[in-house]
Amino acid sequence: MNAFLNCSNLATVYIDNETIANGITSVSSYGYLTNYADILYIKDTIEVTTVPSGWTIDTSGSDVVGYVKYIKA
């Protein structure tokens, strides 16, 4: 799956699937999300076991109800 390969204008991604949320690494097929996106929103009901490499939770809070906001560290 290379759905986001070369999507250099990708700004924001909303994730509401636990498999994708916990499968994001720079070397995974989902890694293109983290290579190109500026902001990730992950559904707040998903237990994220590993924060994507190079990303951190935005401690100022999410501006989208029901999602946790992640920004590049």
Domain boundaries, the chain: 12-72
Q: Are 70 and 59 in contact (CB under 8 A)?
A: no
Q: What is the pLDDT of residue 53?
A: 75
Q: What is the pLDDT of residue 27?
A: 57
Q: Are 39 and 67 in contact (CB under 8 A)?
A: no
Q: What is the pLDDT of residue 9?
A: 80
Span 6-60, pLDDT tens digits = 777 878 888 898 888 887 765 555 666 777 788 889 999 999 887 777 888 998 9
Q: What is the pLDDT of residue 42?
A: 92
Interatomic CA distance for residues 22 and 9, integer angstroms: 23
Q: What is the pLDDT of residue 26?
A: 54
